[in-house]
C-alpha cells in the first residue's frame, strides 16, 4: 500500500529530489518562524526547524507521513545564509576559498496517526578549490546564485568551484537526504520496490 506522503516544503529543489523515489506525495508550505534561538547550535537549529515544519502542516493531514527538512551552511561554526546580493555572494566565496563549507540538513518524518516522529541531522562537506577573484566574478555573473546558501549551485556550474564533495548522500547537499528518508520510511513499514509474496 502506498503511503499518504506529504512534503512540508515549497522548495522546487526538494520536490525534484523526492521525485526520484517515484512515490506520490502532496506538498504544503509550512508557515513557521525560522529565527534561530540565541546560542542555538546549527545542528540543533535544523533539527528543530525540520520538526516544526512537519508539525505545522500536520493538522491538515490525518493518517499521513509528513516530511520536514531544513538546511544551513556552516563555515567556522557560523551559519552562512543566502547572500541576496552580488557583493555578499562575492564575499561568501572569498571566505570559502580553499576551505570547507559544511551543510547540515535536518530531516523529520512525522506520523500524524501515531504522533511519533523520527529525526536526523545529515552533514555534507563541500571542499572549495583556491578561488581567484576572476573565477569568483565570472561564476557569479554566469549563475547569479544569490538565493543559494553558500553562493553556488552544486547541480549546475558551481561544480567548477570545488576540490571535492564529501558525504554519505549527495541529495543532502540539495536539502533532502534520501538515504536517511528511505530508512525512516522503512521504520514506518514502507519498503520501496519490495514486492510481498
Give catalytic residues, as residue numbers. Answer: 70
- Measured CA to CA, the distance from residue 129 to residue 135 in angstroms comes to 11
DSSP letter string over 54-77?
Answer: HHHHGGG-SS-EEEEEEEEEEETT
- Measured CA to CA, the distance from residue 182 to residue 111 in angstroms comes to 15
Q: Strand ranges (DSSP E) for 61-135? A: 65-75, 78-80, 100-111, 117-128
- Which residue do the cell numbers 553556488 mark? 152
Q: Which residues 6+ apart lie within 8 Å of 86 measured at CB? A: 140, 144, 146
- Measured CA to CA, the distance from residue 66 to residue 155 in angstroms comes to 26
Cα atoms in the Cβ-side hemisphere of radius 13 Å centred on 172: 27
Burial track 46-80 (b if 16+ CB lie within 10 A, e otherwise) = bbbbbbbbbbbbbeebeebbbbbbbbbbbbeeebb
Amino acid at each position: 500500500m502506498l503511503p499518504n506522503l506529504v512534503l512540508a516544503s515549497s522548495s522546487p529543489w526538494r520536490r525534484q529530489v523526492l521525485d526520484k523515489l517515484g512515490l506520490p506525495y502532496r506538498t504544503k508550505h509550512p508557515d513557521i518562524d525560522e529565527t534561530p534561538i540565541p546560542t542555538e547550535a546549527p545542528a540543533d537549529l535544523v533539527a528543530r526547524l525540520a520538526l516544526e515544519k512537519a508539525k505545522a502542516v500536520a493538522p491538515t493531514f490525518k493518517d499521513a507521513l509528513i516530511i520536514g527538512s531544513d538546511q544551513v551552511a556552516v563555515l567556522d561554526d557560523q551559519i552562512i545564509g543566502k547572500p541576496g546580493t552580488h557583493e555578499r555572494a562575492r564575499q561568501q566565496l572569498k571566505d570559502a576559498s580553499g576551505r570547507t563549507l559544511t551543510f547540515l540538513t535536518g530531516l523529520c518524518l512525522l506520523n500524524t496517526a501515531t504522533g511519533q516522529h523520527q529525526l536526523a541531522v545529515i552533514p555534507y562537506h563541500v571542499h572549495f578549490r583556491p578561488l581567484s577573484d576572476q573565477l569568483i566574478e565570472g561564476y557569479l555573473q554566469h549563475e547569479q546564485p544569490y538565493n543559494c546558501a553558500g553562493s553556488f549551485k552544486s547541480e549546475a556550474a558551481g561544480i567548477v568551484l570545488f576540490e571535492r564533495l564529501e558525504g554519505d548522500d549527495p541529495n543532502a547537499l540539495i536539502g533532502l537526504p534520501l538515504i536517511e528518508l528511505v530508512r525512516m520510511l522503512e521504520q514506518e513499514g514502507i519498503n520501496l520496490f519490495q514486492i510481498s509474496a
